[in-house]
């Protein structure tokens, strides 16, 4: 029996990087997967077909996670197409790095709206169906930067720290309904997000990572499988760092 057989997962930001790796791992474990994207339509359609080829139901939906009404429409669409939602992964995220002296109000708002408001939007919309089912696993993608802070990323760190406080609160509020909520805090993972940092920053990070390498999206996805599955049935309200001991 596969770990997520016949479960339905909704993943925000599944077209690339970590979200894409989670979608693929979930399908391999038997889950039906609905994932969103913002602008990468071609990549999203290719992934949709790749998932379907694994024998599961899969659907790519263009949906801006920072939009409250968009989240409402998205959850209605998933329920209509898939009948239920067992797992929500709030993964969509962006960076707009700048020192506080130079950061603009737009750079602040864009990051908070995409990274933090999205978690509120989707979680708020999903809990009613999960409460009716009396079961659900919500996994929110934070970052070690949300735990430790990082110069030049005050907006991103604030959004990711906010996700942790939100998730611990939700775990306490919804535990009695058998809904679990956990956080993954990745370190330095090989995706488009870190690619744009450049070679100098990459070398700086590698020096402070005890495992002496970047993580892969697959290594984050494996933890997301654990947190979605019954293997973690008594794990809730926790932050799991996936960072090669960069943060301990």
At closest approach, how far in Å is the CB of 21 from ligand NAP? 8
Q: Within a 10 A sphere around the Cβ of 121, how many other Cβ atoms?
A: 24
At closest approach, how far in Å is the CB of 131 from ligand NAP? 25
Of 139 and 171, which has the nearer Cβ to ligand NAP? 139
In the list 32, 66, 155, 182, the residue contacting ligand NAP (rule: CB under 6 A) is 66
Nearest Cα residue to 227 out of 172, 184, 166, 173: 184
In sequence order, what E strands does 56-175 have?
58-62, 87-90, 136-141
Residue 93 in contact with ligand NAP, rule: CB under 6 A: yes
At closest approach, how far in Å is the CB of 69 from ligand NAP? 13
Tokens 């139901």 belong to residue: 57
Q: Judging by DSSP bridges, how do beta strands 136-141 and 179-186 pair with one another? A: parallel
Is residue 78 within 8 Å of residue 32, measured between CB atoms?
no
Residue 121 in contact with ligand NAP, rule: CB under 6 A: no
Is residue 156 within 8 Å of residue 145, measured between CB atoms?
yes
Residue 156 appears among annotated catalytic residues: yes
Binders of ligand NAP in range 19-38 (CB under 6 A) = 19, 36-38
Q: Name the residues annotated as catalytic.
A: 156
Which residues lie near ligand NAP (CB under 6 A)?
12-19, 36-40, 64-66, 91-94, 114, 141, 143, 186, 188-189, 191-194
């Amino acid at each position: 029996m596969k770990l997520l057989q016949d479960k339905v997962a909704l993943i925000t930001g599944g077209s690339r990087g970590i979200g894409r790796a989670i979608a693929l791992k979930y399908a391999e474990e038997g889950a039906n997967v609905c994932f969103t994207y913002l602008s990468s339509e071609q990549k999203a359609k290719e992934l949709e077909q790749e998932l379907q080829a694994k024998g599961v139901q899969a659907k790519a939906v263009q949906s801006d996670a920072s939009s409250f009404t968009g989240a409402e429409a998205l959850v209605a669409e998933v329920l209509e197409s898939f009948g239920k939602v067992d797992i929500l992964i709030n993964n969509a995220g962006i960076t707009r790095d700048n020192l506080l002296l130079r950061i603009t109000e737009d750079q602040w708002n864009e990051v908070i709206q995409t990274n933090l408001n999205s978690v509120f939007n989707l979680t708020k919309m999903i809990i009613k169906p999960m409460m009716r089912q009396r079961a659900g696993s919500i996994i929110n993608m934070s970052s070690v930067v949300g735990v430790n802070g990082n110069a030049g990323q005050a907006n991103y760190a604030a959004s990711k720290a906010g996700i942790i406080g939100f998730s611990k609160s939700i775990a306490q509020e919804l535990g009695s309904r058998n809904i679990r909520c956990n956080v993954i805090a990745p370190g330095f993972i090989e995706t488009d997000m870190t690619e744009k940092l450049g070679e100098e920053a990459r070398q700086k990070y590698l020096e402070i990572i005890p495992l002496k390498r970047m993580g892969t999206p697959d290594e984050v996805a494996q933890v997301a499988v654990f947190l979605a599955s019954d293997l973690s049935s008594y794990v809730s309200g926790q932050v799991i760092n996936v960072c090669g001991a960069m943060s301990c």
